[in-house]
Structure 1
Amino acid sequence: MSPSQRSVNDPVLVSTDTQLALKVEGVIQHGAKPGLFRAVNKVCLDVSSSSDTKIPQEQKVRVDNLNNELQELVEPHNDYFSAQFLLHFPFPGNHTVYAEASVIDTSGLSWKTGPKMTLLVRSFDPNAPQPPRHQQPPPPPPGRSSASRF
Structure 2
Amino acid sequence: MLLNQNTNNNYTARQLKLPLEIEKLIDISDPVYTFCEVMDHIDLSRYFVEKGYKTGRPRCDEQKLLKVILFAFMEKGVCSLREIEKLCRNDIRYMYLLDEMKAPTFATFGNLIRNELTASIEQIFMDINAYIFSKDHVDL
TM over 0.5: no
Shorter-chain TM range is: under 0.3
Bigger-Rg structure (1/2): 1
Greater per-residue helix proportion: 2
Greater per-residue strand proportion: 1
